Amino acid sequence: MAEVKRGVSDNAYQHLQEADTNGDGYVSSQELAMYLEFKRKELEDQDAQRDAMRKMTWFALWGMLLYPVTIVIASWLDVDDAATIIGNIAPTYFVAISALVAAFFGANAYSSSKKSETPNFVQPPMPARPKPAAKVEEEYVA
């Protein structure tokens, strides 16, 4: 089966410039498949990153909400030493969890802003495909 090539300089395929890995100005079916696979993996990675952020946030929230409940339960069970120790650790715990979540979100925001700041390399438009030369008939003089 013949390989289909699409010209990157055509308006309909302008967004595929980064798919043209060999720089010939045309995107082959193999280049297109590689480009689509890369984009799919990129979307999966972004989705996994959002899931990790969501899980971390919920874990931190539940930890911060359950920490005071733990102190109350320890007091209710007449384990005053445990309640005192847990209460003394509380400021450090809340600051540490808040700093962890803030650092994680800040690092993600910084890296995503760096991605948007860096200009993508845009190749100059390729010249149009040359048309085949017209047949020239020569006359033979005898």
Summarised one tens digit per residue, pLDDT across range 49-106 is: 889 888 988 898 898 889 888 888 888 888 888 888 888 988 898 899 889 888 888 8
- Angle between helix axes 29-76 and 80-117 (nearest 10 degrees) is 160
Instruction: Select the more confidently predicted residue: 11 or 110.
Output: 110
Contacts of 60 (CB under 8 A, 6+ apart): 97, 98, 100, 101
